[in-house]
Structures are given as C-alpha cells and as structure tokens.
Structure 1
Amino acid sequence: MPGAQSVAGTDSGKRYIWGAPGRRAWPPAHRGDGRAATSGVSAGLRPPARLRSAAVPPPSRSLPDPYGRDVLAAPRRRRTVPEVPATGDVVVEDAATGFCGLVVVCTSSAVTLEDRAGRRRVFPLEPARFLLDGEPVTLVRPAPAAPAVRRSASGSRHVAGLRARTARAARVWVEGVHDAALVERVWGHDLRVEGIVVEPIDGLDNLAAAVAGFAPGPGRRLGVLADHLVPGSKETRIADAVTARFGGEHLLVAGHPFVDVWQAVTPAAVGIRAWPDVPRGTDWKTGVCAALGMPDTRTMWGRVNGAVRDYRDLATPLVTAMETLIDFVTG
C-alpha cells in the first residue's frame, strides 16, 4: 500500500504483517490449486485468541425473568372519588368524626347533617370528606332546580308578558252568559294568546239564522259550544241541521251532555254530593236551587262560578268539547 510501512511479526508460530496504522494484514493463504486466497478466514485461518476475545463480546447468559414484568413498576391510576349532590334524601358519614346523618341544609361551603337523635352538626364541603355506603364521596351543592313551568287554568303553558293581539275573524259561540263566564275563567288566557273572541248567544233556537249572518268561510271559522248535546235532544237536531246546511269545513258544533253548564262543574268543587235530579218540565236552575236550599239562581251561580279554579273542576266532556273548538277555529 503506498505510503504505508510494513513491520513483520509472529504470533503462535505464524507470520503476519502490520500494514497501515490501525489495520492488520494476514499472510496470504494458498488454496490447493496454488492460487492465493483472498482472505485468511476463508482459508481456514483464525485470528489469535487475544484478538478474538477483544473483537467479539461473549454471548449473554442472562436468564429470562420467571415472574414476567414488574407490576409494581407500572404507573398506578389515581382513584376517582365520585361527587354526590347534597340533597335532602342523602345519608352520609363524616369520615373524620364518624358522625352519621341526613343532609338537612347545604350551602356553598358547608353541609348540615342531622342524626337519628335529632342532633345537628355542620361540616365543610371538602373533597372525599364523607362516606356513602362505606365508600368515600365528595358532597357538592345541588344544582338549582329548573323553574317550574307556569300553567294556565286550562293546563296549557302560560305565556308571560302576553300582549293584546288583534282578534281573528274566527269566533266561538256559547249558549249564555254563564257558559261564557266559565269559558273565560278556564280558557281566557289561551283565547287571548290565539286572538279568539267568545260570544254568548241566546240558545240554539235561532242558530241557523245566526250562522247565515256570520257566513263562515276560509279564515273565518265558527265554533259553537252547545248544552245537552245527546242523541234525540232538540239541541242535537238543531246542530245536525245547521251542519248539513252550511257544511263542516268552516263550521263545527261541539258540546257536552249536561242540561245546563252548571252541571258541568264537578259536585266536589261546588261542595255537594251530586247535582240533584230536577223533575221534567221544571226549570233546571230553579229546581236545583230549591233542592239545595239556595234562595235564588243568582246566589247559586256565584257559588258555582267561584268554585271553578281550573279545568280540573270541570267535567271531562266540557273540557274536551272546548279544546276541540279552540283547535278548530285556530286551525
């Protein structure tokens, strides 16, 4: 090799030549055919033992771990303590003192517990402070309850801040002023929301002429609330005749089976066991007053009207009929 100095030496009786710095050249070996081999290793020559031990590290004799991986070396999960709202049905134990009681008061920073003997103690709301069924928990102040939905007397959602709405052309007719008063008492809010006007008429005897004058049509529907709408009654015959004449697309007659709207108020609301039976041919209101010992119909009407607070004080047939009419005229 150009520029390299060669130094001869021996090792284990074999001759070798030092070549370039950091490299060692082996004497050329001869194959059986007299040609020189390209490598001393391929010719069956091995480097000296002291050189082999320095160049090749000894094989590892370490044995596998018979117990597998070290489970203690794995990261441990942090235990999560559940949060429990401190409501009035929760019984917990204070872990520090052993005091056990029912939650009676809870503020933003403390909770008051009452035990079975009526003794009360106040504890701070600290993480994992209490035990519930033997397990640590963190009591938290309950979330404020959602405001209750305000309902109208008819049971529908009350519309707060209701502003007057221009009345629709549609109408609901009832047979008299008492009917109109009860409808207003229960459905007044709903009718104002929808812009529906309720008008009393003097019975059903002149219903056909009144409907002709109103001329129901598109955007101008008419609903009629009738008393004593039972098979074979005069009111039923009138309702059928008017419906047949004007059709049912823009006109609807619905009602209840009671002789008078008073009877549609539940007896329990009025404070009587039942509405009395009135002999046929006797004015119904007059007969009721006589049977109940009331001096006159005006006094009895005040009692009936004042007994109605909401739809639950009315019989189901009247409620159903009125709801049907409101849906019809607003549809």
Structure 2
Amino acid sequence: MENHGERGARERWEPLAPGIARRRMPVWDCTIGAVAGPSGVLLVDTGSSLREGAEIRREVEELFGRRVTHIALTHAHFDHVLGTAAFAGVQVYGAMGIDVALRDGEEVRTSAVRQGVDADAAEEAADLLVRPHHLVSGELTLDLGGGRRVLLADVGPGHTGHDLVVLVTDSGGAPEVVFCGDLVEESGEPQAGGDAYPAQWPAALDALLALGGEDAIYVPGHGAVVDAGFVRAQRDALALRFGVS
C-alpha cells in the first residue's frame, strides 16, 4: 500500500545533497533545513508555530527514518524559532546572544501576531519558547556519524546580533551546503529591522563566503538556493545600501 504521508513529505522537501534537504514553509517562505547522519539528524530552524514544528518533526522522521537529535536556530525571529517546543529532548544550539533575545517570549509573540500568526497559536508557542542549551561563540563542530560533520559558526552580527550559519561537509566529496539564515535572502531584499547591525552585515557575509568557498551551495533563509556569486552580489548591495565598505 502506498504511503501517502511519505509521498507528501518528499514532495515538500527539496534534496540538496545525499542526506541533506530543505523545505520552504508557507506564508513567510522561511527555509527549514535537515541534515542526516548515521547517528543523528540536525534540523535548521523550526517554523512559526507548534503546529508547523510538529509537522516538520513528522516529515523529517519520514524522510530519514529517525528522529531529530539536534536543532540549530539561525536567529531569534518568530518564523525560525516558534516550533522548537515540538521537539522534546532535542539539543538546541544558537549563537551567543540569542538566549537574551529569546528571554522575553512576549516580544516574539507580539512580532508573530503583528506579522499575521494566529494570536492563540502565537501565545501557545511563546509560552513554551525554548532557549538554546548550547551557545556558540566562534565555531562548533557536530558529528552526525559516517563522516557527516556539521560546522556551526557565529558569523554575525548582521541581520541580527546573533546570526548562526550551518556548514555541512561530506567526506564523499560532495559540494558543501551552507544554511545562511536571513543573512542571505533570495525572494526579496534582505530585511533590516530594528535589531539589525547594518554596518557589520557585509563583514558577516565575507565570513560566510570564507567558510563556504566558491563551490558551496548556499541556502538563504527565504527563497531559492543560490551560489557564491549571488551572496557576493548581495554583500556588495548591502554595503552600498548602508554606506559601508
């Protein structure tokens, strides 16, 4: 008998490399990434509600046949963090400073409602808001087994004061995959809110490019997958926009 749930999950998740996939969530087009190794599965961001988080959890288990063991939060905006409580017992990582940004669930809730999240769903998720168990200053490598290593790097500030990027390497020689969070956006102009650091954003993208190199696959926080040339062009556009070198 055909498994319609699995078929649906596979239709919604875009494969990037063996054991690496991403899903573009509805409404805000936020990217969720998943990286599987023999001994663990890392999720990059968790969606904008507990319902989305639970859906992502089920789909990742269908795709890879095992549960999420680690979560990396790229930054503290609601569409990237409010699904985290749907993953009980998972180790959560974020850049140094994200714990402060997530200390007040009311601020995240207010932002979510302002952007159109159902008020009750936003309140429920904010009440259960999960702050990272592990804060990354500089770089931290996770081993998911079988040569699958994932580098978590705090390259900000830029889009926020705590921008974490995720670099996936593969001993088999496949191109590296870089989950950029909202340091890079393809579906629209990068958003610089009140918590952005415009003068330092271009330098964060320089650090991102130094990590990934010319041949990596770059996965924006919103939009289609891009290459190093796109990231470099966006870096230069941001420098011009904010009047920095």
Give the TM interval when normalised to the shorter protein.
under 0.3
Question: Higher relative CO (CA 8 A, sep ≥ 6), structure 1 or 2?
Answer: 2
Question: Larger % of helix: which?
Answer: 2
Return the index of the structure with the highest Cα Rg: 1
- TM-score normalized by the length of structure 2: 0.26
- After TM superposition, the score normalised by the length of structure 1 is 0.21
Query: 1 or 2, which has the higher strand percentage?
Result: 2
